Structure 1
């Protein structure tokens, strides 16, 4: 390995995939353009988010810096937190990890199944100015926003929740009946969302069971989004469509979401996977997989 080659690990949480760089000893500095090139699924490694694990300024187990595929930085990613939590817990042979993010401090916990990880995502933010929205809405369980004709909108009245990122959730009868790839970009960039938003279509399929698909800001359609699953669980409970403990099934698989009454925190549990290890040439952005079993 040359001095300019940077080790990485490719991971995913329910298909929501990440390229993870460990910068706790040596800084990893990449431009927005380089990040977008690495994230390209045709010419680069390909990812939904790139994660740089750095020393925590607060002396916690790690600081997690998160970039979308377009190179923009975001504050939170629930599935990535579960993946980084797993790496830290395996590294330190412990059953919990405390991870600092721009959205706050998140705690990850091991479960009886070594690939399943629980993360305490903290309290949801529900006031309009905390989402944030561009104008005041007293009731964020259903704001005035629609796509389509005024008298026959295709989508309307989403719930909005901030779980470290802004989310808008449209509850519909059939998520397959709507073209989220078409409407997602319009809604992500709608003027009511000054920081853009993640857009979810959610369908109640049974008692405390929800199916969802997500358009993630800066990414597009994704197989799973942890903060979106949390936001959907919170929104469904607020609208009395479900209880406070639900299973949200995304294209990549299920996440269990519990919005605890005791402290208002949202707990998220789901699978993680280590796909492979590799190295990236920092100058050319060429990459290669490490030999099987190499770390």
Structure 2
């Protein structure tokens, strides 16, 4: 049986979107099938695979699988892509909670909800201050921890381009302190309205853009008094605007793009 897909990206962070709202997939989307589809040489290729399903409490449910096959709670760039694909304001259920999207031309704004800062909400293996964590990994020290639907640590450094994120990212991601692993953000605050950011994404590695990482980093900078409540976060793939408003909700705004559409034979990957 052939299955249709849409290939999309948000600032270069790319996705395969499968729509199972009206027609169920012909089989189980397991870890091996996700890895096969995400493979850039023998599959379609993506950072994340997105599965849309029906949901009684929302316009649809968005399930998110990293290229290693693991299912995760949230993805900001994918939220914008799906928001554009739906083509109208929508409520989308995720494993990290319900988010709201509002498309506007080639861009989309996403209400990412309220960030969480408790050590057990990140989660961490044991209690500690999450605003300035008293630990480090080589030159990366004293991060902040934020959960924005998925777990992040944020390191503020003088020059994030000089950080060996390809080496330190996987070490931090899999540290025993983080029982569900963690996304690793390395940020440089340029002024009170601008941040430069690079991200090691849990289960995906170095990425050109990470929407939840931009949200987590902006909120961490605001909590530390480094920026105003609205900032532009510049990632390798491009900029995102992050607003943390007075009711504590995060709004992320930025572009997303449909690359192409196609279909594949389910039995070739499942």
Answer whether TM exceeds 0.5 for this pair.
Answer: yes
| Structure 2 residue aligned with 1:282 | 266
Aligned equivalents of 1:129, 1:98: Cα separation in 2? 27
Aligned equivalents of 1:42, 1:239: Cα separation in 2? 43
1:8 touches 1:279 (CA, 8 Å); kept in 2?
A: yes
Match of 2:19 among 19, 22, 28: 22
1:75 positional shift:
0.9
Aligned equivalents of 2:188, 2:38: Cα separation in 1? 30
1:188 touches 1:217 (CA, 8 Å); kept in 2?
A: yes
Match of 1:97 among 82, 90, 93: 90
Give 1 or 2 for the bigger CA radius of gyration: 1
| Structure 2 residue aligned with 1:289 | none
1:140 positional shift:
1.1
Alignment of 1:176-195 (within 5 A): 176-195=161-180
Deviation per CA, 1:157-198: give whole Å up to 9, x if none: 100000010000000000111110000100000111111000
Residue 255 (str. 1) matches residue 253 (str. 2)? no
Match of 1:63 among 61, 64, 68: 61
1:40 positional shift:
1.2
1:27 positional shift:
1.7
1:209 touches 1:247 (CA, 8 Å); kept in 2?
A: yes
| Structure 1 residue aligned with 2:118 | 127
| Structure 2 residue aligned with 1:75 | 73
What SS does the corresponding residue of 1:99 show, helix, strand or coil?
A: strand
Aligned equivalents of 2:59, 2:92: Cα separation in 1? 6
Aligned equivalents of 1:106, 1:280: Cα separation in 2? 30
| Structure 2 residue aligned with 1:88 | 86
1:236 positional shift:
0.2
Aligned equivalents of 2:264, 2:151: Cα separation in 1? 32
Match of 1:140 among 121, 130, 149: 130
TM (normalized to structure 1)?
0.89
What SS does the corresponding residue of 1:233 show, helix, strand or coil?
A: helix
Aligned equivalents of 1:57, 1:196: Cα separation in 2? 30
Q: CA RMSD in A?
A: 1.1
Task: Give structure 1 stretches of 5+ with no counterpart.
Answer: 149-153, 287-295
1:110 positional shift:
2.3
Aligned equivalents of 1:206, 1:236: Cα separation in 2? 11
Task: Give structure 2 stretches of 5+ with no counterpart.
Answer: none
1:30 positional shift:
1.8
Aligned equivalents of 2:95, 2:50: Cα separation in 1? 13
1:61 touches 1:88 (CA, 8 Å); kept in 2?
A: no
Deviation per CA, 1:87-123: give whole Å up to 9, x if none: 112xxxx3x1111111111100123xx1110000000
Aligned equivalents of 1:184, 1:43: Cα separation in 2? 26
Deviation per CA, 1:56-102: give whole Å up to 9, x if none: 132x211101100000000111111111111112xxxx3x1111111
1:9 touches 1:21 (CA, 8 Å); kept in 2?
A: yes
